[in-house]
Amino acid sequence: MRARRGPSTPVPTGPAGGVDAAPGAGIDRPRRRLPPLAAGALALVIFLALAGAALRPGIFTGHDTIVGNTGDPSIFIWSLQWLPFALSHHLNPLVTDYLHYPTGANLMWNTSILFPALVLTPVTDLFGPIVSYNVLTVLGMSLSGWCAYLAVRRYSRHWISAVVGGLIYEFSPFMAVQITGHAHLFVAVFPPLLVLFADEILVRQRHRAWLMGGLLGVAAAAQLLTGTELLAISALMAVPALITVAVIFRARLRERMPYVLRAAGFAAVAFVVLAGYPLYILLLGPGRVSGALQGTGFVARPTSFLLPSSFELIGGRSTVLDSSVYIGVPLLILAVVVTFRMRRHPVVMAAAVTVACAMVMALGGNLTLHGAATGIPLPWIILQQLPVLDNVLPVRLMIAGYLALAVIMAVFLDRVLEAPLRWRIAGLAAALVALVPLIPTLPISSAQYLIPSFFTDGAARQLPTTGSVLMTPYGGVYPDYPPEVWQAVSGMDFKTQIGMVFTPGPGGFEWGPETDALGQELTGLGNGATAPAALAPSLRQTYLGDMRAHDVDGIVVGPSSAQDQEAQFFTELTGEPGVRSGGVVVWFDIHP
């Protein structure tokens, strides 16, 4: 009597093939030299070691040095300090008035990486937010590659093929660009995890539906609290792959759908339970913004896929706005050839469709040639009108393309490693020629913040704890001296009216501190204007009124080329000189 196979029974993986077949079905697997757990652990060590080596200037130079640039990372460094501070002080971690006081900011609209900040809380508490950020770069890069390895391993018979696939993802041009400052994107573990869940839920169906669905919901909620853009990209780019698989295995859909629907239901429940409140803050909470926050300029040109930039080892000075779509001529040709020769391989076809869709989407809503839009509409012109997707930069959709390329290359290397010696040499040479152009310029760049000792030696605790502290440089004029990082390294000792965050404004949003009369004056000083020797009474009252509107009780003029001019301005405005302390000029207790 044949046993009735339930949802939890392992799916056949023999030579029968079909949707039930595991990768390599019908071909005897070679004996593995390492058990799966040991092989996975060894792969993780490799990815960690390579990430550490690539990022070494930023992580080993000093406490004020970070991986990448000094612009965008400031909000992520601030977020790493904010979450443990908010939890320990019983504050809502999803909104804050410690920046942009008194109205505050909705952190669900500001890439606040809340989940990574929670995981790294022990590191932040022990070593501070800058060290924590550098740890995040290493973990984000290496774990992204490792998760890609786990996903690719599902379709690869050889451990080394899966490792190469993981390295393609870990050191892809997308990662080389994002690691320099976009923590919500270089922590890119969710796309490969989604592949793993899709494989389990749609194909193998070996475990309970509630377990797989629940874990998928948890992973999606964690990604929402890491970055909504990558969650949206993952969901969108899963569609072409799923459609391809559904078409190939359309005869098996009816028997598969009950399990899929149960798992999807449990995923939805788990996601709503964990992410319901953050979604409420995002959609209906205070300080929510609207509109295309990131603009529409980051689109690929057809040549962007073929020409390397300064982010690639073989590249140079490039006019490409964003090199995170680069594939290279050799890899593109190899991927096309492999897809044609293995067009009956479902995984290869699904991956090829994903790459093609990612490339088309990355071109944006209108085809751009020679730096100018041609007016030729492309599919993205429709998708960019949808909520959430209007804040997705088209070039960033290529993250799914690189994961799909990793799958194609792993399957190709499997065939190469099992071929006769002559073809094996030729295949490995072709793979080497295809992949070498993707090697990023190493080591990854690093940058140094100038952090006054005033914020690290405890002196900042003398600042008023009520109201706000007005800090300069103002408006992000000097990204090397970000006041929000100074606030973070002080341990959140004070609130401030400034901050590089999105808040409601004309047209749906504004970015940065207030652009009132005082803000315009400070921005001008930061850009090199000369401080007035005397202020007209009416102008003085205007500036003091702006300070009262933000409940300014203290002023800190930070180090910059305009520090003396700014200190002179506040001396004239307040009627008394500030105190020089630890690299800054301070007015501790003022009442404008």
Domain spans of the chain, in order of start: 191-438, 466-587
- 428 vs 30, residue with greater confidence: 428
pLDDT value of residue 148: 98
Instruction: Assess whether pLDDT exceeds 60 at residue 307.
Output: yes
- 324 vs 352, residue with greater confidence: 352
Instruction: Assess whether pLDDT exceeds 80 at residue 3.
Output: no
| Residue-wise pLDDT tens digits, 403-426 | 999 999 999 999 999 999 999 999
Instruction: Assess whether pLDDT exceeds 50 at residue 174.
Output: yes
At position 429, the amino acid (one-letter code) is A
285-302 mean pLDDT: 84
First to last CA, the chain: 89
pLDDT value of residue 318: 56
Across the chain, what does the average pLDDT equal?
89
pLDDT value of residue 29: 45
Instruction: Assess whether pLDDT exceeds 90 at residue 227.
Output: yes
pLDDT value of residue 247: 93
* Dihedral angle sign, alpha carbons of residues 348, 353, 357, 359: positive
Contact yes or no for 179/222 (Cβ under 8 A):
no
Q: Which residues pair with 496 in a beta bridge?
A: 469
Instruction: Assess whether pLDDT exceeds 90 at residue 25.
Output: no
Express as a percent the part of the chain with pLDDT over 70. Answer: 91
Contact yes or no for 72/181 (Cβ under 8 A):
yes
pLDDT confidence tier of residue 465, bands split at 50, 70 and 90: confident
63-70 mean pLDDT: 88
pLDDT confidence tier of residue 500, bands split at 50, 70 and 90: confident
Minimum mean pLDDT range among 233-237, 266-270, 374-378? 374-378
Buried b (16+ CB within 10 A) or exposed e, 420-434: eeeeeeebeebbeeb
Instruction: Assess whether pLDDT exceeds 50 at residue 438.
Output: yes
113-118 mean pLDDT: 98
The C-alpha atoms of residue 444 and residue 436 are separated, in whole angstroms, by: 17
Looking only at the bridges linking them, the beta strands covering 105-106 and 366-369 are unpaired
Which of 290-299, 401-410, 558-567 ranks highest by mean pLDDT?
401-410
Long-range contacts of 137-140 (CB under 8 A, 24+ apart): 137/51, 137/55, 137/58, 137/59, 137/67, 137/68, 137/179, 137/183, 137/186, 138/48, 138/51, 138/52, 138/55, 138/59, 139/187, 140/116, 140/179, 140/183, 140/186, 140/187, 140/188, 140/189
The C-alpha atoms of residue 81 and residue 101 are separated, in whole angstroms, by: 18
pTM of the model: 0.91
Minimum mean pLDDT range among 9-18, 201-210, 369-378, 398-407? 9-18
340-344 mean pLDDT: 94
| Helix-then-strand count for the chain, H and E | 22, 12
| Residue-wise pLDDT tens digits, 181-212 | 999 999 999 999 999 999 999 999 999 999 99
Residues contacting residue 284 through CB under 8 Å, at least 6 positions apart: none
Instruction: Assess whether pLDDT exceeds 50 at residue 6.
Output: no
pLDDT confidence tier of residue 541, bands split at 50, 70 and 90: very high
Instruction: Assess whether pLDDT exceeds 60 at residue 89.
Output: yes
Q: Taking Cα atoms as reference points, which of 482, 478, 452, 460 lies closest to residue 562?
A: 478
The C-alpha atoms of residue 436 and residue 314 are separated, in whole angstroms, by: 9
pLDDT confidence tier of residue 309, bands split at 50, 70 and 90: confident
Residues contacting residue 316 through CB under 8 Å, at least 6 positions apart: 308, 310
Kindly state the tokens that stand for 174.
Answer: 């997308």
528-555 mean pLDDT: 91
Instruction: Assess whether pLDDT exceeds 60 at residue 67.
Output: yes
Instruction: Assess whether pLDDT exceeds 70 at residue 320.
Output: no
Instruction: Assess whether pLDDT exceeds 70 at residue 31.
Output: no
